[in-house]
Each structure stands twice: as C-alpha cells, then as structure tokens.
Chain A
Amino acid sequence: MGKVKSAIITALLVAAILTLALFATISCNLPGGVERYNSFVSKISLGGDLTGYATTVLYPEGVRSDADYNGVVGDTEENNSKKREDYLNKYVQKGSLWVDKEKLGDDDGKAFAESVQKDAKIISDRLSRKGYTGYSVTVSDGYAVKISVPAGFSYAVMKNYDNTERNAALSAIGHTISYLSLGGELSLRNSSTYEGSASVLLKIGEKLGDYVKSASVHSLGGNHALKIELTDEGLARINAALTKEGASGSAYIFIGETGLGLTFTMGTALTEKTLYFQADKGYSEDYAIAIDSVAKGQLITNKYNDAKSGSISSLAASTPEFGKNAAIWLGAAVLVIIAAAIIYSIIRYRLLGIVNSIMIAAYSVALATAMLLTGVQVTIAGVLNAILGLAVLCASNFYVFENVRYETTVGRTIQSSVKLGYKKSLFGVLDVHIVLIIASAIMALVGVGELAACGLIFLIGVLASYVLHWLTRFMWYVLSSPVRNKFRFCGFERKVEDDE
C-alpha cells in the first residue's frame, strides 16, 4: 500500500472517530441561547449511585410522620385546637412516627408491624420485577415503608439542562411506586369510580384475581401492551357477567379501590383467553406486575397514603451517596484509565501502540453510543464492565503483539512474524471472546437489575473488542505500509541481521 492510500484511510478513520467523539462528549448552547445540544454521554441514563434515588415514604392508615404530627400539634391557632387535641389523644410516638392507639391494639402494635413488614416484602418483590439497577425497600421504625428507586436521570437532567426529561422520569417513578403498592383484590366493577360502584361478576364474593392466570407486557415493533391471560373458567365467568341481560356501558378493572383505566364493553363477549390493552411501556409494566402479583395471591393488606391516588406526590430526589459530582469524577477516572492504556501502548509498542490507541478511542466512542442507543442504565459496576471490555481488547491485541515479537526474536521477517503471530493467536482470541460473549449474553438474559445491565454492557464491549481486534490488524497493515523500518515501527528487535 502506498503512502497516499495509507494516509487517506488513516485520516478517514481518525476523522470519523474524532467527529463521533466530539458529538459524544461536547455539550453546548445552540445559537440564540434558547436550545441546547446535549452530548451522547450526557444523555446516557445513569444509575442511582451516580444520580441519586427517588425516595418516598408510604404511611399506612393510622400512622403519621413526625413532621405531620408536629405540624398539627405545634400549631397554636385557636381554630386548630380540636384537631390538636385529637392528635394528642389519638397518637403515640413510635420512633420517628406517630401511631394511632387503635391500630396498635392489645399487643402494642406487634400484629400491625408484622402486616407492614409483610406488605413491604410484597412491594419489594413487585419492584424486583421492574428491572431497576438498584432499589431498596425498608421498614422505617416498624410502621412505615420507605422506598428508594434509582432516579435514572442522565447527566443533562441532573444538571437541570433538561427539565422535561426530569419531570417525565419522576412522574414515571411516581406511577410505578403508586401502582406497585396498591392493596386489595382485583375486581371488575360497573363504574370508573370506586365509591358507589359494584362488582359486575355474578356470584357474591367472586374475585377477578381467581380468573387471571398471568399478566405480562407484550411488545412488538415499538408498541407495548398489557397482556392478561385468563383461565378457561375465567373466560366463561367474565363472559357470563358481560353478556347478562340488560348489560350496557363498560366494566372497569380495579385493584382495591383504584381503577386501572382498563375496560371491557358490557354486552360484548370476549372471544379469546388472552387480552391485550395497549399502553405506554412503563404503564404496561406497572399494571402487569401489580395484576400478576395480586392474581398470585400477594395481597397488600394496609392502605397507604398516595398509593390509591395513582401518583406519588411526596417523591424526593436525593443526591447520590458518592456525592453530587459522582458522575463527573467517574468520567475523570475513566479518562485517566483510557489515557493510561494509551500511554502504556505507545511506550511499549511505539507506533504500533498508536494503532492500539486508535482502537481504544474507537471502543470508547462505540460504547458510549451503544449505551445511549440501548437506553441501558449505567452504574459504577456498569462502567467497570465497560473497562473490563476495554481490557479484553487491549489484552487481545497485546497477546498478538507479543506472539509477533516472539517470532521476530527467532529471526523471521516482520511479514511472516505478523502472519504467524496472528495465526497462533487466532483461536485463543476467538475462544476468549466466544466464552465471554456467551457468559455476558446469559448474564443479560438471566440476570435482573444491575446484573442484567452489566451483562448487556459487557456483551457490547466484548463484541466491540473482537471487531476492533481485527480492525487493529487492518490498521497495522495500513499504517506500517509506507514505513521502511517496520521493526522500529512496532518497537520490536530482530535477533538476526535485518534483511528488509
């Protein structure tokens, strides 16, 4: 390959990487100062350890927070005296909470605390199916359930460059917590409001939950739907109710006292056991998890504040435990690691190290783009998996370089050394990548939450590593073609007299 051809190919590749890197990393205000361009990296969804958690406390009926109680008791206004008196007589302090004496009962609240603990476990089970990269459900002072889920903000959202996204993310979390903490049975009712409505099922005490086999999300071509599988008996019983004489209007699905907005037309029989209700992905997931959980007998027994209103109003976005600037510092650490890998490559392999450095840059940009496109939530663990992928790329290349170096030490020409070095390491590199691809794919499919996200990131990393491993071979050839002393280009030494 001639000098010109080599220069053109190299320039094209470097320009492509630089352009992508520019769009990936540089955010700026657009002319006019109203709109802003946010870089790929700043739009990647980040986990709770980097952007913090959205937290709320669910208080069961009969339990008040310390602030709520003191707000009433501390209010010295005359017209509040009765309410103040009521609070003073009605509630006793339990840790930071104030609990209704009636709720505590004869056993000093032991049974009540157990019911809250049981509810918290059900909420935790439901949240575990949501795929969050980390969440926590704790019982505060025995009588309140505290839920924290990753806010899932991107860096741009966290820095308030994108308030629409921020509100959308918090609203989605509020919906999820609200619906996954709904208590009570599944029912089919004749009105969209619970008060004054009645079950449309014909037998007294008949429960819709007994007729639901499972509920899941069905996705196809970017559209999402809630999929409910009925039992044979369920189909017959629901049809009997829908087509009873004089039936008209709609029938509404409720969990406890909350309508889900899912309706059947009265007077029209269902023809299939599988029902589909089209909805937004997040909403479909929330409904599916809640319905499936109730149908499988996981019933939340207490009524919690906010839960029945359909959205959590007291959601607080907390700072990450690693500090407000954790994402920035993590980015700095990644840059240092990339720089270290590049410097090591160049010191050890001279110009060949530059080829490896180009691949490192390409890997970094490719992974950032893939993280944005897949929408995977990136945590510190995810970043470590991406670094592991980078290490696999470098190790594969170094392994080949060392094999080539070994061949040069026994007197072979650079061409035959490269050929033999790649030949010798072909299956080793391939085997490593196959094992890691299978392992990471299974991790992504079998794992949940953070583990699944790490599996996906590592899978992308290993695939990129293998592609770039071969691109290294090509670029080695392209860059070294015009160079006269190819041993010097690679930092290798030939043990016998150079015949090139």
Chain B
Amino acid sequence: MNNFKFASKLRIFAIISFAIIVLGMALGTVFHFIGGGFFGYGGEYSGYKSVTVSYVYAEFGEAADVKEICEAEFGKAGIKSFVSTEADNGTSNEITYKFSQKTDDGKLKGAVEGINASLQAAAAEDTVSQSRASFGTECAVLGGGQALSRAAIAVAVIIAVQVLYSLIRYKLSAMCAALIIQLHNAGLFAAVLALCRIPVTSSVMTFAVIGSLVTALCLTVLFENIKRARKDADNAKLSAGELCDLCARRTFKTNLVFCAFLAVAAILVFVFTAISSLSLTVILSASLCALVAFAVSFYGSVIFAPAVYALFGKLSGKTAEPSQKKG
C-alpha cells in the first residue's frame, strides 16, 4: 500500500459501489413483491412454526430423554429445527423446537403424531401420559420493519453527528465527504444483505450501528490527518488527490488492524457461542453480518473515502492544481 493511489481510482470505486447497490436494491425490490420482504427476515421477525413438547418429571427425569425421542421423529420425517429451547415453569417442563415458515405442515404434523406415540410408549407404566407434543404456527407481531426502523434511526443519528462535527472541525468539503461515505456505507450494507439474502435478525441491527460507528472513527482519523498534513510546509505543493493519498496511506495500517481486530473479535464471539449451542445455524447469519459490516466500513471509509474527499478538495480549490510532484 506504499504507493497506492486512492484518489485516482474514484471512478472504479464508484462503479463497483454503484453496481453492488443497484443490484442489491433491484433484487431486494423483486423479493419484496415475490419473496415476502426486501430482506430475508429471520424467524424472530417473520414468524416460525413450532413444535412444543410438554413433559413432567414423573415420566421423564431428563430433558435429554425427551429430546432423543423428538429428534428421532424429526429425523424420520426429514425435517430439521433451527433452534430448540427448554423451559421450566415449576410444575412441568417444555421443549420448543422452532422451524422456518417454509417447513412442510404435513411433515411436522406427522412428526408430532410420532412423538406423541413414542412419549406414550416411553411412559408405559402410567395409564395416562401427561407428556404431549403439539404443533403450532407463531406469527410475529414485532415485524422486521420495526426493528430495522430502530437501527435506521440510530444510524441516522450517528451520520448526523458526524456530518455536523465534520462541518465544525474540518469545513464543508469534509462534511460533504462524510455524508456521502456514511450514506454509501449504509446503502452498501443494506444492498449486500439483500443480495446475499442473509437472514435479518436483531444482530443485523447491532452491526449496522457498529458499522456506522467504525466508519465515523476511520473518517475522523483521515480528516484529522489531512488537516494536519495541510499545515505541513512539505506538503504545500501537493494536489488534493496526492494529499489525500498520503494521509490514507499513513492511516491505512492502523485502520486495517482496527477493522480486522473487530471482525475477528465478532466472529470469535459467535464461534464460541456456537460451541455453547452446538449449532452452526444459530450463528451463521450473525457472523456473516459482522463480516459484511466491517468489510463495508473498511472499504468505504479507508479505501473509497480518500477519493471522495479528494474530489471535494479539488472542488473547493484549497490546494494547488494541477499537481506538482514532490521531490
């Protein structure tokens, strides 16, 4: 990265970003009409199908015994739950298996009948088995739209804070660059989510906000470097593009380490929790979201931002043009 010219690649970066955003928006719009949503919503927002198995300690001492029976029946029916939880209300216990909305009702009902028969047989000493499985459909009231609107408000607030702060501290060109980069990153993140059909869960909300915070941080570092570099007599003859390139190269490594550390940390958190749940499916969407959020933040604020800032630097005419090479 010692000689990479960020500023001169504005067109290439803009075309890449524009293509991804347009493609994501187009696909999201198509899915909005034919697939039930702009994004692919996860179970907590789109609703889910469930099989709830109630059991009492008199018949089964261990949840594992009941789970074994249930999972064998689901296996026979050829269906797989995306998550299971156990609950205890003091008098009886419950195991709830959640399935995606696409799971076939017939297969689920068949599995429920099988589970009930197996529970009855397993509790053969009792005349009436109190343990029972039932099949239900959960329709989410707290829709994905509401969750996303909350994330959008938080991201908008962060963008507003940064834009205003950039205007006060680094003048108009930085403010314009900050606004464009933050909007670009938000758009790119949404487009990649729509494009990859990563199930939107509450973790998306978190990573959207963390992503915009990371962008704010990296942009502020870049602006401060440019401001300082402008005061340096050695840089007096550099063009806006060269100045931006110089500062982008100086901050590149620190920003890269910062973003990589965050991405690895987020994935590590999810990998460890996957070990706890013994399931990869529960962490897959969150891990992908983390990767997308940090990749987008890094691309937007470390690679694309110097080019955009250089453009506004040229427009404001504060540095000499045409460029005169140092040296």
Contact = CB atoms under 8 A, between A and B. Distances in A.
Interface of A: 52-53, 55, 65-67, 70-71, 74-76, 95-97, 117, 120-121, 123-124, 128, 134-142, 146, 314-326, 328-330, 332-334, 336-337, 340-341, 380-381, 383-385, 387-388, 391-392, 394-395, 398-399, 402, 424, 427-428, 431-432, 434-436, 438-440, 442-443, 446-451, 454-455, 458
A325 B83 contact: no
Q: Which secondary structure dominates where chain B touches chain A?
A: helix
B interface, size bucket: 35 or more
A67 B132 contact: yes
Contacts of A381: 202-203, 205-206
B12 interface: no
A220 B149 CA distance: 32
Given A333-B268, A402-B253, A451-B209, A436 B132 contact: no
B286 to A, nearest CB: 8
A96 B208 CA distance: 38
B284 to A, nearest CB: 13
Given A136-B44, A316-B88, A395-B254, A326 B157 contact: no
B134 interface: yes
Given A336-B268, A427-B224, A451-B150, A67 B89 contact: no
Contacts of A120: 141
Given A120-B141, A398-B257, A428-B221, A329 B157 contact: no
A450 B204 CA distance: 12
Contacts of A340: 264
Given A320-B85, A321-B277, 10 more contacts: A66-B134, A67-B132, A97-B136, A140-B137, A337-B269, A391-B258, A431-B165, A439-B213, A443-B158, A449-B150
A318 B86 contact: yes
Contacts of B137: 95, 140-142
B172 interface: no
Nearest to B178: A435
A175 B145 CA distance: 29
B136 A316 contact: no
Contacts of B179: none
Contact of B269 (A71, A128, A330): A330
B117 to A, nearest CB: 14
Where chain A touches its partner, the secondary structure class is: helix
B176 interface: no
A-B complex: 9 closest residue pairs judged by Cβ atoms: A96-B134, A333-B272, A428-B224, A318-B87, A316-B89, A381-B206, A316-B87, A323-B276, A323-B277
A323 B282 CA distance: 10
Given A432-B217, A435-B220, A319 B86 contact: yes
A121 to B, nearest CB: 6
A329 B261 contact: no
Contacts of A443: 154, 157-158, 209
A329 B154 CA distance: 29
B96 interface: yes
Interface string B266-307: 101111111111100011001000000000000000000000
Contacts of A440: 213
Nearest to B151: A451
Interface string B235-262: 0000000000000000001100110011
